[in-house]
């Protein structure tokens, strides 16, 4: 393997939800490593602004609830660049209002549940379906953004977490069914990541509670997740498929209550 296998030179990468947070950090990193990036987002102005900053990048409007919009994204990519090497399914139904409404199942609004699955699961499936014939041609790959909440139970975000669990199984299914066609499919599961949307949605006391359970000295930043995505998208990860890379600062790797144990053994209690 070439020593520069982590590079993305000559590759065309679609990043959904690419206008902000993890998506924009990933688009920037992929462009820095040589990829030509398609920034797809429902926030058209922000996507266009970012594309203007990155060499060779284009912005394409995307509404994951609309099948025609998703198919138009892949078609536009092929028309403009002539190929597709990486599909990073990063977009999801998020935001402060959504986070507050997405609680436990007993109090779940059916409309919110349906919309979450329409965007996070159905939209991701359609994007994969549209991309796969072209990824076969380039022996390309898919990287899905999921969440550590898809692997753990929580008091809140029942719709979001279960939808991301569905995307994990979709990841495995695609890896199994298309591996011999040269297509890899993996997922990255971030923990709480300090995006602008998270800062707005979660009060400091809850962010601190998660940070206390993290095995680093801080919560992750979008750039940390971008590094994981770009690695999986590169030829350096050519032997990795059907996997979920948990990038949560070690939060899910230990026994419950580690913050209290840490305080006890340090003499703080």
The residues that are catalytic are: 160
Q: Is the dihedral of CA 151, 176, 187, 17 positive or negative?
A: negative
Nearest to 65 by CA among 129, 117, 128: 117
Q: How far is the CA of 221 from the CAs of 172, 195, 232, in angstroms? A: 26, 7, 18
Please write down the long-range contacts of 71-79, taking CB distance under 8 Å and 24 or more positions apart: 71/126, 71/130, 73/14, 73/16, 73/38, 73/40, 73/127, 73/130, 74/14, 74/127, 74/130, 74/131, 74/134, 76/38, 77/12, 77/14, 77/38, 78/134
Q: Contact, 59 vs 44, CB < 8 A?
A: yes
Phi, psi dihedral angles at 111 (to 5 degrees): -65, -40
Nearest to 11 by CA among 97, 84, 95: 84
d(Cα 114, Cα 116) in Å, to the nearest integer? Answer: 5
């Amino acid at each position: 393997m070439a020593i520069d296998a982590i590079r993305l030179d000559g590759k065309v990468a679609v990043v959904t939800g690419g206008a902000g947070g993890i998506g924009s950090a990933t688009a920037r990193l992929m462009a820095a490593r040589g990829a030509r990036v398609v920034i797809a987002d429902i926030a058209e102005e922000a996507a266009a602004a970012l594309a203007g900053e990155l060499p060779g990048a284009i912005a394409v409007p995307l509404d994951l609830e609309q099948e025609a919009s998703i198919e138009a994204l892949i078609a536009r990519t092929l028309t403009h660049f002539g190929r597709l090497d990486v599909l990073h399914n990063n977009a999801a139904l998020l935001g402060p209002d959504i986070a507050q409404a997405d609680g436990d199942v007993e109090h779940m609004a059916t409309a919110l549940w349906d919309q979450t699955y329409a965007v996070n699961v159905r939209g991701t499936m359609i994007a994969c379906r549209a991309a796969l014939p072209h990824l076969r041609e380039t022996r390309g790959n898919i990287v899905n953004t999921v969440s550590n909440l898809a692997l753990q139970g929580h008091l809140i975000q029942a719709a979001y977490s279960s939808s991301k669990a569905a995307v994990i199984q979709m990841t495995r299914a695609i890896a199994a069914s298309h591996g011999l066609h040269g297509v890899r499919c993996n997922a990255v599961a971030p923990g709480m990541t300090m995006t602008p949307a998270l800062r707005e949605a979660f009060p400091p006391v809850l962010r601190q509670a998660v940070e206390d359970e993290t095995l680093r000295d801080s919560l992750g930043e979008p750039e940390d997740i971008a590094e994981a995505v770009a690695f999986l998208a590169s030829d350096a990860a050519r032997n990795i498929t059907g996997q979920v890379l948990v990038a949560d600062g070690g939060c899910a790797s230990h026994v419950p209550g580690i913050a209290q144990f840490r305080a006890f053994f340090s003499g703080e209690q």
